[in-house]
C-alpha cells in the first residue's frame, strides 16, 4: 500500500475504526460508510485468506445479506446451493431437509465483503494489526496500527472490535469454557465417493464433529471442532479427522493427512464488557459458541448491522446508559440463541443421545423440521 501512514491518518479522528475484516467487520464498515461516515477497516492478513470455518450460509444468513442489498453475493462468489444434511454417528446415518442454504469458502466470501466495504467508501488497510490504546480523550479512542514494521497512532470517535478469537484491547476480559474444543479446517478435493453437491455431511465421533460441504471451484470445505486432548494424541490433524469420519460411518477414500490443516485457539468463550469507552465488540470477539447449528456467520453479520444502527444513533454521545443499552441489545439478539446452541452441542457430545437422535431421524426425518425452521427464521 503506497504511503500507508498517510492513508491511515487521512482523517483525525476517523468516525469509526473497525478492527477485523471478516463478515462482521466488513459489513459494519460497509453499512457505516454507506451513511457517509469516515470508516477505516483494518485486517491483519492479506485478503483473500483462509479461515477455519464451515462456510455455510443458513437461510437466516442469506436473509441478512438480502436486507443489506447483497443477496446475490454468495452466488457471485461461486457458492454451492444445498438442501440436505447427512448426519452420521455411531455407524448410523440419517438425511434431513434443511431448506436452501449456500456454502462458500471464506476466502471468496470475505474478499467480496471487503470489496463491498471499499465500494461503499470505507478505507481498507490489510496486513495491518491494530491494538486499542488507553486514552484520556473523552471524545475519541486511540488505536495503534502496525504494518510492515511501521507504527502509527490514529484516533476514532468509536472503535468496533471484530477480531474473532483474538483480543486487541486491554479492557476485554475473556473467559474460556473448561470444556472448550479447538477448530480444524482445510479445503481439499473429493473426500467421499458420494460427495455430490447439494448435501452437507456432518459426522460425530467421540473426539469431535466434522462438517464437509462443497464450495466453489469443485472443492470441499472441511471444518471440525475436536477435543484438544484427542488432537494432541493423534499423529496428525488429518488422521484425527479421518478417524472421526470412520467412527461415524462415513469412511473416506482419500488421505486427509495430505491436506493443509489449520487450527484455532480454544473455541467456546465469552468476553466482557461488550462495550467500553468508545469501543464495541461484535461477532466472535463478543463471545463464541461452537455453532454446530450453522449460525456462526449469520450471528456475525447480524451483530454488524446491530452495531452500525447503534453507532448511527449515538456516535457523538457516549455514556454509561448507552453502554448498558448495547449490552441489552446484544443479549436480546443473541443470548437465547447461543444458549440453545450450547445445549445442543452439550447433548450431542453424549454417545447415547447421538444414537437416539440418529434413530429418531432415520425413522421420522420430519422431526428435524421445527428445529431447522426455528434456526432460519428466528432473528
Q: 285-325 pLDDT, tens per residue? A: 998 887 666 788 999 999 999 999 999 988 888 888 888 99
3-state secondary structure of 290: coil
- Which CATH number describes the domain made up of 80-104+181-266+350-377? 3.30.9
- The whole-number pLDDT of residue 199 equals 87
- Over residues 199-209, the pLDDT tens digits come to 889 999 999 99
- Which is higher by pLDDT, 256 or 2? 256
Task: Calculate the CA 161 to chain-centre distance.
Answer: 14
Among 181-195, 232-246, 266-280, 328-342, the minimum mean pLDDT is found in: 181-195
Task: Place 168 in a pLDDT band, splitting at 50, 70 and 90.
Answer: confident
> Same fold for the domain at 4-55+107-176+268-343 and the one at 80-104+181-266+350-377?
no
pTM value > 0.85: yes
Question: How large a percentage of the chain has pLDDT more than 90?
Answer: 59
**What backbone torsions phi and psi does residue 73 show, to the nearest 5 degrees?**
-60, -45
Average confidence (pLDDT) over 42-69: 94
Instruction: Name the average pLDDT for the chain.
Output: 89
Q: Which of 53-62, 94-103, 186-195 has the lowest mean pLDDT?
A: 186-195
- Beta carbons within 8 Å of 149's beta carbon, 6+ residues apart: none
Question: How far is Cα 240 from Cα 229, in angstroms, rounded to an integer?
Answer: 11
Nearest Cα to Cα of residue 185 among 234, 223, 221, 232: 223
Report the range of poorest mean pLDDT among 1-5, 24-28, 123-127, 213-217: 1-5
What pLDDT does 48 receive?
95
Domain boundaries, the chain: 4-55+107-176+268-343, 80-104+181-266+350-377
Q: Give pLDDT tens digits for 141-166.
A: 999 999 999 999 999 999 999 999 98
Confidence class for position 218, pLDDT limits 50, 70, 90: confident
Band of pLDDT at residue 195, cut at 50, 70 and 90: low
Residue 378 pLDDT exceeds 50: no
Architecture in CATH of 4-55+107-176+268-343? 3-Layer(bba) Sandwich (3.50)
Q: What is the largest CA-CA distance in the chain?
A: 64
Confidence of residue 39 (pLDDT cuts 50, 70, 90): very high
CB 82 within 8 A of CB 199: yes
Q: What is the pLDDT of residues 60-104, one digit of tens each?
A: 899 999 999 999 999 999 999 988 888 999 989 888 888 889 999
> Look-up: residue for cell 466472535?
284
Strands 262-266 and 182-188: antiparallel
What mean pLDDT is predicted for residues 101-108?
94
57 band by pLDDT with thresholds 50, 70 and 90: very high
Q: Looking at the predicted structure, is the pLDDT value of residue 273 above 50?
A: yes
Whether 35 and 271 have beta carbons less than 8 Å apart is answered as: no
Question: Rounded to whole angstroms, what are the CA distances from 62 to 58, 66, 100, 101, 155?
Answer: 6, 6, 9, 8, 34
Q: What is the mean pLDDT of residues 262-267?
A: 94
Task: Examine the pLDDT at 230 and tell me if it is beyond 50.
Answer: yes
- pLDDT bin (cut points 50, 70, 90) of residue 170 is confident
Amino acid at each position: 500500500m503506497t504511503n500507508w501512514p498517510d492513508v491511515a491518518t487521512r482523517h483525525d479522528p476517523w468516525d469509526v475504526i473497525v478492527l477485523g475484516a471478516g463478515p462482521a467487520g466488513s459489513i459494519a464498515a460497509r453499512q457505516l460508510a454507506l451513511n457517509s461516515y469516515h470508516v477505516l477497516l483494518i485486517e491483519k492478513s492479506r485478503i483473500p485468506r483462509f479461515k477455519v470455518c464451515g462456510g455455510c450460509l443458513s437461510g437466516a444468513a442469506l436473509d441478512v445479506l438480502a436486507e443489506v442489498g447483497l443477496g446475490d453475493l454468495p452466488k457471485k462468489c461461486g457458492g454451492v446451493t444445498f438442501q440436505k444434511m447427512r448426519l452420521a454417528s455411531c455407524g448410523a446415518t440419517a438425511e434431513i431437509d434443511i431448506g436452501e442454504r449456500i456454502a462458500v469458502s471464506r476466502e471468496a466470501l470475505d474478499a467480496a465483503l471487503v470489496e463491498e466495504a471499499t465500494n461503499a467508501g470505507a478505507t481498507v488497510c490489510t496486513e495491518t494489526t491494530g491494538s486499542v490504546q488507553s486514552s484520556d480523550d473523552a471524545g475519541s479512542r486511540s488505536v495503534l496500527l502496525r504494518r510492515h514494521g511501521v507504527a502509527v497512532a490514529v484516533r476514532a470517535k468509536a472503535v468496533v472490535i471484530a477480531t474473532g478469537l483474538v483480543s486487541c484491547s486491554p479492557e476485554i476480559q475473556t473467559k474460556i469454557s473448561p470444556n472448550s474444543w479447538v477448530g480444524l479446517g482445510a479445503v481439499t478435493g473429493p473426500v467421499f465417493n458420494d460427495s455430490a453437491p447439494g448435501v452437507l455431511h456432518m459426522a460425530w465421533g467421540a473426539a469431535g464433529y466434522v462438517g464437509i460441504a462443497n464450495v466453489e471451484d469443485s472443492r470441499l470445505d472441511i471444518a471440525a471442532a475436536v477435543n484438544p486432548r484427542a488432537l494432541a494424541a493423534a499423529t496428525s490433524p488429518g488422521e484425527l479427522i479421518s478417524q472421526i469420519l470412520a467412527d461415524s460411518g462415513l469412511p473416506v477414500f482419500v488421505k486427509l493427512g495430505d491436506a493443509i490443516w489449520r487450527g484455532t485457539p480454544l473455541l467456546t468463550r465469552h468476553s466482557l464488557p461488550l462495550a467500553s469507552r468508545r469501543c464495541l465488540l461484535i461477532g466472535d470477539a463478543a463471545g463464541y459458541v461452537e455453532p454446530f447449528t450453522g449460525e456462526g456467520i449469520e450471528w456475525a453479520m447480524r451483530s454488524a448491522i446491530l452495531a452500525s444502527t447503534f453507532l448511527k444513533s449515538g456516535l457523538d454521545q457516549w455514556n454509561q446508559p448507552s453502554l448498558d443499552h448495547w449490552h441489552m441489545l446484544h443479549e436480546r439478539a443473541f443470548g437465547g440463541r447461543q444458549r440453545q446452541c450450547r445445549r445442543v452441542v452439550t447433548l450431542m457430545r453424549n454417545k447415547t443421545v447421538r444414537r437416539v437422535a440418529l434413530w429418531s431421524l432415520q425413522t421420522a426425518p420430519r422431526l428435524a423440521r421445527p428445529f431447522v425452521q426455528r434456526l432460519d427464521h428466528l432473528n
